[in-house]
Amino acid sequence: MRKQNRLPYDKERLPRHIAIIMDGNGRWAKKRHLPRQAGHKAGISALRRTIETIVELGIPVLTVYAFSTENWKRPAEEVNHLMNLLRENLHSELSDLHENNIKLNILGDLRELPAGLREELFEACQTTAGNTGLILNIALNYGGRSEIVRAAKALAQQVKDGEFSIDEINESTFGANLDTKGLPDPDLLIRTAGEMRISNFLLWQIAYTEIWVTDVLWPDFNGEVIFQAIDDYLKRNRKFGAAI
């Protein structure tokens, strides 16, 4: 097993952007006869470990899927717990993020979030806006289809306002209206808990992303699993549609 302090990688070959679908909190808790809330709390610790490893590797961008547009269908008690957990950890972790030069971004439509939480997220992003280290994107009330619709509406408004013509709409102008504008597309998408689906995550951005799935449940995720994913990623031949 690889030790985290060895870091035997050529940094030029490492992914610039890793995205993670954090799945399995509920199953982790169920296996231990614990409430689902315990799984979500353990998942926070897994995220902390993951950020530490990504920073150690020097990877510029990490995007994690925290709460989808579909997650509102869950029981109200669980949704409220998730929102409270987010607020609590925002308070406790913000100073560490800032001290470690991490820039926080929130992806998704925040209009449906509680007003107080929305304001706190905005302030946290403002606090870290000038940081130049890891860019940490948290996808919150996020859905890939919703993001694409919001981008299309923004483009339509820009055409209506005479900012440019329909003929000037292309992949670049469309991408400039996405939540991830200005960032590289993910090179590697990791999904935990063995599920073989995308779940409406970064649908535009992962057109040529390498996908790696592990059976490890999210609360058990750690640096060793990240190394396994990167080892597999580095063995792949990324052709981007070319006949190589």
Q: Which residues are catalytic?
A: 23, 71
* Separation between Cα atoms, residue 213 and residue 20, nearest integer Å: 10
Distance of CA 64 to the CA centre of its chain: 2
151: which residues sit within 8 A by CB, 6+ positions away?
A: 174, 177, 178
> 24 phi and psi, to 5 degrees?
115, 5
- 191 touches 214 (CB < 8 A): yes
Q: In Å, how far are 34, 43, 59, 110, 120 from 77, measured between CA atoms?
A: 16, 18, 36, 20, 21
145: which residues sit within 8 A by CB, 6+ positions away?
A: 200, 203
How long, in residues, is the chain? 244
Distance of CA 34 to the CA centre of its chain: 26
How many Cα neighbours within 13 Å face the side chain of 219? 17
227: which residues sit within 8 A by CB, 6+ positions away?
A: 2, 4
Distance of CA 210 to the CA centre of its chain: 15
